[in-house]
Amino acid sequence: MTEYKTIAKSSSQDRADLVAYWSIPLIDGIHVVEFEHGTTTGKRVLRLDGTEVLRKEWMFKLVGDIKFTIGKQEAKCELRVDPIPPFAFSYSLWVDGKPIDKFMEKQLDSIKSWSTVANGKRYVVVFEKHTLEIWVNGQTVDVERNFVEDGTEMNFQLANSNATLRSAPAPGPGHKQITYRLFVNGRLISDDINETQP
């Protein structure tokens, strides 16, 4: 049986060979990928969201790829270890066939997120623009959709609070962009600080 370690249980000695760290924004939240590479011992350790999912010791081949999936949408990931002469290594992460930076650009175009506290509990609300699904803390929620004068409203529950996601054309010529605003009990929630798109 495989034994898993979490970050909290790992000592700094266990993590001395940490060489790469990425945060991946997915619909069900931000996922963290950590990679340890002992270039003198041949050790490889892969952690996803703090849980150790791969450990190999004494590997003679120090380069190569590791394939895995992450998140509820099971995004396909590939961690690449490539040589840099004379004796160094580069580490890159590909998600759904794209380098991580290109994948993140695509994600910023396709999702919108907010963080809020309702009834004493923190919630992360994510709107997937292409499927029109709303996710709350990693779970899809039932939504009532209504057309209104200047766009649409999507109503749903956050615990005992009423939430409304309003979409409308952005002001300006052509109205090609759409703005998305989240209200909880009638109060406008600020965009997630990581957001750059309207």
Q: What is the CATH number of the domain that holds 166?
A: 2.40.128.180
pTM: 0.67
Note whether 86 and 119 are same-domain residues.
no
For residue 191, what pLDDT is reported? 78
Sequence-separated (6 or more) residues with CB below 8 Å from residue 49:
31, 32, 70
For residue 174, what pLDDT is reported? 63
Q: What are 5's two structure tokens?
A: 């370690």
- Average pLDDT per run of 10 along the chain, which is 198 residues long? 38 68 86 89 89 85 87 92 88 95 88 86 89 90 91 91 90 76 92 50
Look at residues 67, 96, 125 and tell me which one is the last residue of a structural domain: 96
Q: Examine residue 5 and state whether it is found in any structural domain, yes or no.
A: no
φ, ψ of residue 102 in degrees (nearest 5): -70, -40
Rounded Cα–Cα distance for residues 18 and 182 (Å): 38
For residue 11, what pLDDT is reported? 40
Q: Examine residue 9 and state whether it is found in any structural domain, yes or no.
A: no
Rounded Cα–Cα distance for residues 141 and 40 (Å): 49
| Structural domain boundaries, residue 90 | 18-96
Q: Domain count for the chain, please give it.
A: 2
